[in-house]
Amino acid sequence: MTVVFRTGGTVLTYESKTPLKVGQVVSVPVGRKTVSGVVMREVKRPAFPTKPISKILTAQPLPPHLLKAAEFLHEYYASPLPTVWQTILPKGLK
């Protein structure tokens, strides 16, 4: 089980049969849309059903300093994490 931040939303839990690293950019289903997200951490299987990650968009994870910078900006400026990631990630990740 993987916790994924998704653009335009909050942190959600998705499943993946492929081992993922923190910082990998993935594509996840949300309602009828598919959006980009960032793997935030691995978690134990929750008691509720989860959806699978649609696609792995980056083979290499984002660098740790970029993950730390995003967390700092989120906390220091009290900015929603989705807004921070939308600013940091390149446009057009699909």
pLDDT (0 to 100) of residue 57: 93
Determine the pLDDT at residue 81.
Answer: 83
Boundaries of domain holding 66: 2-88
Would you state the pLDDT for residue 59?
A: 94
| Measured CA distances, 41 to 24, 27, 32, 71, 92 (Å) | 10, 16, 25, 13, 24
Q: What is the distance between the alpha carbons of residues 18 and 31, in angstroms, rounded to a whole number?
A: 23
pLDDT of 92 reads 73
- Residue 94 inside a domain? The answer is no
Residue 93 within a domain: no
pLDDT of residue 8: 57
Q: Could you report the average pLDDT of every consecutive run of 10 residues in the chain (94 residues)?
A: 59 90 93 88 89 95 94 91 84 69
Q: How many domains does the chain fold into?
A: 1
Q: Taking the CB of residue 36, how many other CB atoms lie within 10 A of it?
A: 22
